[in-house]
Structure 1
Amino acid sequence: MRIVVIDYNGGNLASAAEAARKAAARFDLHAEVSISRDTTDILNADRLILPGQGAMADCARGLGTELRSLLETATENGTPFLGICVGMQLMCDYGVEYGRTEGLGWISGSIQKITEAQKEGLRLPHMGWNTLDFIPGQHLLTKGLTPGDHGYFVHSYALHDGSENDLVASSNYGARIPAIVARGNRCGTQFHVEKSQDVGLTIMGNFLKWEM
């Protein structure tokens, strides 16, 4: 299995790659993990992972037109894709942090500040462990997890006005926060799977075993 972590000159790439290696080992999967932006690597990958941290606008600039096009082509051809944190946010229609930023348009909704949390007197960024709420058995990504398991979040913006059909799991921080989304072979987590210990490795392993 060829796993490519997309190199867009952003952060957290090495941590995501290491999480993929650990998950592959845990699930006895033979995997070669690389960090790359090479056209051949991306188009021949069996799994694509796009980590992200910071602002959606910065990550979008790092992707640029070429990487966007490659991701579109590869995922349209059926390659499973996992977006992590801002990587998930980039899957949506657009975001508003530091001005409007166009997303990939793979899931509906926009990335907006979590103003509900501020109204409740909660601090931003939403940082730390929070529970995951989901219906067991509804999606392969949550296999082996129990509702109430925790993911590690670091964000001030979240998906708003998304489709319930895309929602796999949610959390709560002054309002319901989409925590895992999926449509077809494209999925994403708002929390950092690479920082979420056993829960994160379970989700990563489920992604690596995911067959459409």
Structure 2
Amino acid sequence: MQKIVILDYGMGNLHSVASALQKVAPGDEVVLATTPEQAEGADRLIVPGVGAIRDCMEGFIRPGFVPLLNRCIETGMPVLGICVGMQIMMARSEENNGVDCLDIFPQPVKFFGTDLKENGERLKVPHMGWNQVQQKIDHPMWRDIENGSRFYFVHSYYVPAENNDALAGETEYGVRIAAAVARENIFSTQFHPEKSADAGLQLLKNFVDWNGQY
């Protein structure tokens, strides 16, 4: 039995993530941890997140999750970031007049803007809905997921795909978006796998099976 820890720092409904994990890994223990102590003995770590980046960063720092995350990364534990959980791993976000993030990945987080267009038509922000994701690297997290599969997105800020050497998956919404980034034992997605039907469940199953290497 594995212990899969989801960090609960007050940002978002985590029960849908836990429920999806229990579906793909019924024999494993899924824990919602509000303190680093509750994450002890973890085999895998998930960093979710929904909401404003400043609140997310404050909520993540306050209980001592930054040293915990750094230790997990250093020891090679598989780590999955989801939505704002991916964005807090970047260098800096334009949200809330600029917020420094964890700088695990050196990329910025940018606002879509108020005049986002595609084929001459104005696009709504936040970006909400299903987008095709093009896989940019051969990674165990993409196992048994067809290239171009659709995943569910909800966000007003994005990590650019351009000049991104960690790019693992890409989509477009007026601009080229990093749908997923990867480095060593970290894989993070802008989309919500727990809300992405069969493709999302497969990605979570792949995370449960992944040894943290590629």
Q: TM-score, normalised by structure 1?
A: 0.91
Shift of 1:21: 1.1
User: Are 2:30 and 1:33 aligned?
Assistant: yes
- The 1:182/1:162 distance shift into structure 2, 3 A limit, reads farther
CA distance in 2 between partners of 1:141 and 1:71 (Å): 20
Q: Which residue of 2 aligns with 1:103?
A: 101
Question: Which one of the candidate residues 65, 68, 83 is aligned to 2:66?
Answer: 68
* Paired residue type of 1:165: D
* Paired residue type of 2:159: L
Query: 5+ residue gaps in structure 1?
Result: none
Check the 8 A contact 1:43/1:70 in 2, yes or no.
no
Query: 5+ residue gaps in structure 2?
Result: none
Q: Percent identity?
A: 40
* Paired residue type of 1:76: E
Report matched runs for 1:1-212 at 5 Å.
1-25=2-26, 30-65=27-62, 66-115=64-113, 118-120=116-118, 121-135=122-136, 138-160=138-160, 163-211=163-211, 212=213
Indicate the SS of the match to 2:170: strand
Indicate the SS of the match to 1:160: coil
Shift of 1:163: 4.9
Shift of 1:160: 2.7
Indicate the SS of the match to 1:52: coil
CA-based RMSD: 1.8
Check the 8 A contact 1:117/1:175 in 2, yes or no.
no
- The 1:117/1:196 distance shift into structure 2, 3 A limit, reads farther
- The 1:210/1:162 distance shift into structure 2, 3 A limit, reads farther
* Paired residue type of 2:35: D
CA distance in 1 between partners of 2:40 and 2:186 (Å): 15
Name whichever structure is richer in helix by fraction: 1
